[in-house]
């Protein structure tokens, strides 16, 4: 009985650590170093996840109240690839990598951000009507080094966010964002160059 009670009252951080170790082993996650994780992340699908060093994940209300209504979800699809570079931090986001998403080093991805490299369903309503023909378009997403994606933004398939670029909170990004620029809005548009980087 005492052993069972000790298990029940194990510190939550320890239980979460064991959970993530088992999850990473089950999903064959390739990591240069084990990430810092606050809360519990979800990894779905059978694709590939590769992490650099010192990656940090927030996945709870307590760890980041901005976007804290969601968990961090990494969906790798059937054979998608998700690569996250060293010293990158991601909070309570949903990253859907059904083809390939590459996130560089020193990237900040804010609370409740969504990255979708797929349309999920066919755009043609006739094709969408049956599972056999409901095939979504997919295209790679790239988030380059030092980019900052503001909370609640959505990055859609085929988009590259350039090095040092900033995406304003709540933006919907449908086309490439050049390096060293600030973009925002729905759809996201150029706002200004980042001072001191020209």
* Of 20, 98, 121, 152, catalytic: 121
Rounded distance between C-alpha atoms, residue 82 and residue 47, angstroms: 8
Side-chain half-sphere CA neighbours of 39 within 13 A: 22
Please, are residues 76 and 48 in contact by the beta-carbon 8 Å criterion? yes
Tokens 């606050």 belong to residue: 38
Instruction: Check if 98 is active-site.
Output: no
CA–chain centroid gap for 85, Å, is: 12
Residues near 165 by Cβ (< 8 Å), separated by ≥ 6?
A: 144, 147, 148, 177, 178, 179, 180, 181, 182, 183, 194
Rounded distance between C-alpha atoms, residue 148 and residue 131, angstroms: 37
Among all residues, which ones are annotated catalytic?
Answer: 121
């Amino acid at each position: 009985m005492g052993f069972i009670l000790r298990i029940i009252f194990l510190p939550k951080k320890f239980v979460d650590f064991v959970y993530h170790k088992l999850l990473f082993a089950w999903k064959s996650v390739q990591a240069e170093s084990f990430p810092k994780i606050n809360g519990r992340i979800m990894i779905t699908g059978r694709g590939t996840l590769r992490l650099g060093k010192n990656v940090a994940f927030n996945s709870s209300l307590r760890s980041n109240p901005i976007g804290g209504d969601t968990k961090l979800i990494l969906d790798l699809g059937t054979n998608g690839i998700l690569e996250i570079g060293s010293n990158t931090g991601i909070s309570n986001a949903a990253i859907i990598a059904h083809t390939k998403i590459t996130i560089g080093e020193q990237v900040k991805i804010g609370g409740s951000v969504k990255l979708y490299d797929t349309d999920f369903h066919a755009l043609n309503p006739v094709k969408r009507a049956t599972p056999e023909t409901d095939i979504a378009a997919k295209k790679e997403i790239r988030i380059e080094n030092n980019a900052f994606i503001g909370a609640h933004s959505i990055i859609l398939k085929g988009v590259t966010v350039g090095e040092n670029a900033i995406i304003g909170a709540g933006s919907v990004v449908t086309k490439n964002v050049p390096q060293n620029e600030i973009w925002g809005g729905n759809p996201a548009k150029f706002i200004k160059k980042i001072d001191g980087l020209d």
